[in-house]
Structure 1
Amino acid sequence: MKKSEKEKQEKENEAYIENYKQLVQRLTSLSRFNVRQFMGTRPEQFRP
């Protein structure tokens, strides 16, 4: 693999990982919100 192709692949991987981290963070906050709402420990407002 050429150096430029390797660098391009690394940048794509970094972007994918960053997107994945943001998705995990979003889903974690949503699940916490839903659990708290279900348990009745938080009002109906959503604050991510």
Structure 2
Amino acid sequence: MDHYIEISILPNAEIEETSIMSALMQRLHLELVSSRQTSVGVSFPE
């Protein structure tokens, strides 16, 4: 593993955490597909 990024979602009264994470994962997926990246792993906390 060359790089590691940890993303934490801070509480927000106006937007649910699941909505933020969903939007983030969708954008990440689209960017990885468009840049043809195949050696990327994503893990989720328990």
Shorter-normalised TM range:
0.3 to 0.5
Q: Which has the higher helix share?
A: 1
- TM-score, length of structure 2 as denominator length: 0.47
Question: Greater CA radius of gyration, 1 or 2?
Answer: 1
